[in-house]
Amino acid sequence: MQDEEDVPAGAYQVLAVVFLATVVISLSSTMLTIALPSIAADLDATASGTGWALTAYLLTNTASTMLMGQVADSVDRRRMFLAGLTVFTVTSAALSLADSVPVLVALRATQGIGAAMLLCNAVAVLVAIFPGRLLGRAMGVYLAGFSIAQVAGPAAGGIVTATIGWRYLFLLSVPVCLLALVWAHRALRRLPEVPRGRLRVDVPGNVTAALLLVLLLGAVTVAPDRGWSDPWVLGSLALGIALLPVLVAVQLRAAYPVLDPALFRDPPFARGMLAGFLVSSPRLGIVVASGLYFQGLRGASALEAAGHVTVAAGGLTVGALVADGLARRYGARPVSAISAALSVVGLLVLVWAVGAGADGSRDDAFTIGLLVVGLGTGVFHPINVSSIMRGVPAERAGTVNAVRVTLQSTSLALASAAAVASAVAFVGPAAAASFVSGDPAGLSAADVEGIVLGHQLLFAAFAVLVVAGGLVTVSGRGRAADAEEPGEVDEVALAAAAADAAAVGAQPR
């Protein structure tokens, strides 16, 4: 076992910088989910504009993660980490001054790129400086940061929004970012020199993947204003789907494919990826939908809504903490199947609870449903990550994890956009604007019924996806299906689970 004196000088300073930077990035996203109605009311946003305020960050972060990962392998990691933190700091300051929805969306999109520059590098920085077994300890600290943001984010968002206003969600992060930036300039000088390689970037693959995401997410996000039968919405969906085979063809011909087709020829890997994509879908969607529901239909304050949403985040954290122990004792496949079933039960409780509409008689059941979904997905995710990453050679871990993170982030981004779109799918633009801005007084009885129906369909659709993911998990044979005794999650799996946290702002990316 490594002794403490084996740790390079300044290693814990590097860990502290990475921890601080990733916590503030995660908090900025988890806090925002609660503030959406206040932002919509202040900036006079439509339902689509509100959706873009959330999905712009997820879109650019998801689309640029693999590109930044490829770039990071060929450039100085210290400079890229600092550049990402600088972009995030500057955009945070600018977001506190945003005076319109287009400005807010543009800045959030830029912020997503900065976060990708930082987070795609964070794990590599820790791997470079922490030796042997101590890397696992460092990864544990790193993961703890996401857990803190996951639980504290919604509560902090509710408190800040209800007391001094949503703009301070961004403004208060600026001094913390500046501290991390100054500290990083000093601490990251201790990173070992890594020979720079030739820049190997799959430009056609990155462009095609980004365009596909823009079309699909754009269609779902603008549908509340334009309607699902609108030619632009249908055309964007059709073009996005049509780009899927184009992306496959581009990757098959690429010298350095950003989505390596060889990975998907391994059935256990492909099954693990598909299961993770399906089962992870509710994690962010229920948070977005719940925050809107309690403020836009129940008339709750941001602080009251945060109290309900925090329960889901707490469930995710507890589930992640007990997942490895359960898997070692009972086997990965049974625990994965049971955790997926638990999520389905929670989602069905949400379908029933939201049926009470605006009278609040089932609020306690709604909160219990959120807790159950959080626990189920919280247990499932680390086991799924470990099954995918187990046995991956160290030299391919970065590529494999980048693919996994991107597909999981795509699932979360689509789910968050669908949460807003589904909630207002059966009401007119005026009612949709009242709902997303937290003004239930502007809703008629028919509007309330339409919003309830939209939420019920959303939660039911999530339940169907989780059922499908659970079936994929227990099907087939191979390392992902047969890992009955996973043992302790190794360093690669810890890094992979940590990387997922960014898309949700606290998902353990």
176-187 as b/e: b if 16+ CB within 10 A? bbeebbebbeeb
Q: For residue 11, which of 126, 122, 123, 119 has the smallest C-alpha distance?
A: 126
Q: For the beta carbon of residue 351, count every other beta carbon within 10 angstroms.
A: 18
Is pLDDT of 456 > 50? yes
- Give the model confidence (pLDDT) of 38-49 as tens digits: 898 899 888 888
| pLDDT over threshold 90, residue 76 | no
Residue type, 182: V
Q: What CA–CA distance (Å, rounded) separates 312 from 232?
A: 35
Q: What is the pLDDT of residues 283-317, one digit of tens each?
A: 888 888 998 899 989 888 888 888 888 888 888 87
pLDDT tens-digit readout, 239-250 = 999 999 999 898
Could you tell me the sign of the dihedral formed by the alpha carbons of 1, 508, 410, 73, in that order? Answer: negative
Angle, alpha carbons 509-259-492 (nearest 5°): 40
CA-based nearest residue to 67, from 475, 402, 351, 459: 402
Residue of 345 and 308 predicted with greater confidence: 345
DSSP letter for each residue of 378-414 = HHHHHHHHHHHHTT--HHHHHHHHHHHHHHHHHHHHH
Q: State the Cα–Cα distance between residues 327 and 93, nearest whole angstrom.
A: 44
Residue 210 tokens, joined: 């980004």
pTM above 0.85, yes or no: no
pLDDT at 140 over 80: no
The predicted structure's pLDDT at residue 350: 95
Q: Which of 66-70, 181-185, 460-464 has the lowest mean pLDDT?
A: 66-70
* SS3 label, residue 261: helix
Angle at CA of residue 126, ends 122 and 130, nearest 5°: 180
Q: Enter the tokens of residue 369.
A: 């449903």
| pLDDT number for residue 347 | 96
Residue 88: name the closest of 36, 144, 27 by CA. Answer: 27
Higher pLDDT, 480 or 338: 338
Give the amino acid at 253: R
Contact assessment for residue 336 and residue 271, using Cβ atoms and an 8 Å cutoff:
no
| pLDDT confidence band for 458 (50 / 70 / 90) | very high
What CA–CA distance (Å, rounded) separates 407 from 78? Answer: 27
Cβ within 8 Å of residue 241, ≥6 positions away: 216
How many residues would you count in the chain?
509
Statement: residue 468 has pLDDT above 90:
yes
Q: Are 362 and 455 within 8 A, CB to CB? A: no
> Where would I find the H helices in 297-393?
302-330, 332-354, 363-389
The model's pLDDT over 83-124, given as tens digits with 9 standing for 90+, comes to: 999 999 999 999 999 999 999 999 999 999 998 888 777 777
H helices present in 188-229, as ranges = 203-226
Nearest of 214, 268, 258 to residue 120 by alpha carbon: 258
* Residue 492: pLDDT band with limits 50, 70, 90: very low
Of the listed ranges 14-18, 331-335, 344-348, 356-360, the one predicted with least confidence = 356-360
Q: How far is CA 63 from CA 261, 386, 404, 478, in A?
A: 18, 24, 13, 30
218-263 confidence digits (pLDDT tens): 888 888 878 888 898 899 999 999 999 999 898 888 887 877 787 7
- In angstroms, the CA 396 to CA 130 distance is 19
Cβ atoms of 189 and 58 within 8 Å: the answer is no
DSSP 442: G
